[in-house]
Amino acid sequence: MNADKLLHPIQVGNLSLPNRIFMAPLTRQRASQPGNVPTALNATYYAQRASAGLIVTEATQVMPEGQGYAWTPGMHTDAQQAGWKLVTDAVHAAGGHIALQLWHVGRISHRHVQPDGKLPVAPSAIQANAQTFVVHPDGSMGMVQTDLPRALEVEELAGIVAAFRAAARRAIDTGFDFVEIHGANGYLLDQFQSTGPNQRTDAYGGSVENRARLTLEVVDAIVAEIGAARTGIRLSPFGTFNDIADTEAEAMAFYLTEQLDARKLAYVHIAEPDWAGGPQLADAFRAALRQRFKGTLIFAGGYTLEKAEALIASGVGDAVAFGRPFIANPDLPARFAKGAELNAPDASTFYGGADKGYTDYPSLAS
């Protein structure tokens, strides 16, 4: 199977990217402590993968309250920004392009990773049947049940929007080519979008339009700050990861994509159920998204070379993002181009640690 369509250049926003083999966001929990600061090791990791058409970084919290897992990076301090500058410089020196994924976890958190040990926040005070990874006050660490969250007051939402906007500004000032808003996988914006975790009765709950309000306020703030051509978003329609549930998932997906098209966002990135959990997306649903969004439409979730080529050939998707294949194959586009065998990822090194399972996977040239 050749990769002719995946290897064809693509225009995204105002940038021409060399191929349609994108690197999906992958939480790796290797930010330095204290401070959740990216390091030269992270720069090496991303630079090794610079042949991707576009790298989307690991999810990066926009404020301290947005953190849910130990050792994940932020973009709300000068030290974090300086750390990310190592990454963007290294990726660009290697000829690559990179987007920073902006994140607030909402209720998928625990007091041990929250400022001053406070409870996490959410649209409603409903605990998720989910786990997160924390370091306890005694220095021990491990997976724990997420805490019962506190419902956000309406007056607090402007501060969250402002944090996303400020992080986007830092990202562009640091050299990122795009920012990607994390509106997927059961985190804060997805929680507001979904009928299960959002039981509000104010302007941010109830109807599809109300539940989409916070997401679109974040989009509008970031577009006002850095422009639509540098802004993307990730969504996970019908996803169930992190105990998310939405009885109006199709209506929400269609409404959001129409609104995002009207705002001329650079791209919409769809996380399919391979990772997000839930039912497989129907071809008709993908086609309906295509009809509603005229910008770059990216799909991710268990794609093989063959499946990705077929998606691009159909005209429904413009690019495909690969996650675990990029963990183990820093030169994934070259391997696809040559039909070479792929390295198998070592799941035991996905989260935390140092270079093992992170920067030591061999390329074809090594």
Q: Residues with catalytic annotation?
A: 187
Cis peptide before 34 (omega within 30 of 0): yes
Q: φ, ψ for residue 85 (rounded to 5)? A: -65, -35
Interacting residues of 3 by C-beta distance below 8 A, sequence separation 6+: 21, 305, 309, 333, 336, 337
How many residues would you count in the chain?
Answer: 366
Which alpha helices (DSSP H) does 194-238 contain, by range?
A: 208-211, 213-226
- Give Cα 209 to chain centroid, integer Å: 23
Burial label, 330 (beta-carbon count in 10 A; 0-12, 13-18, 19+): buried
Distance CA(67)–CA(206), nearest Å, equals 27
Distance CA(121)–CA(187), nearest Å, equals 11
Residue keyed to tokens 């058409």: 53
**Residue 71: DSSP 8-state:** T
Q: How far is the CA of 195 from the CAs of 205, 210, 360, in angstroms?
A: 8, 11, 43
Residue keyed to tokens 């400022």: 115
Q: What DSSP string describes 117-151? A: GPPPEESSS---S-EEEEE-TTS-EEEEEPPPPEE
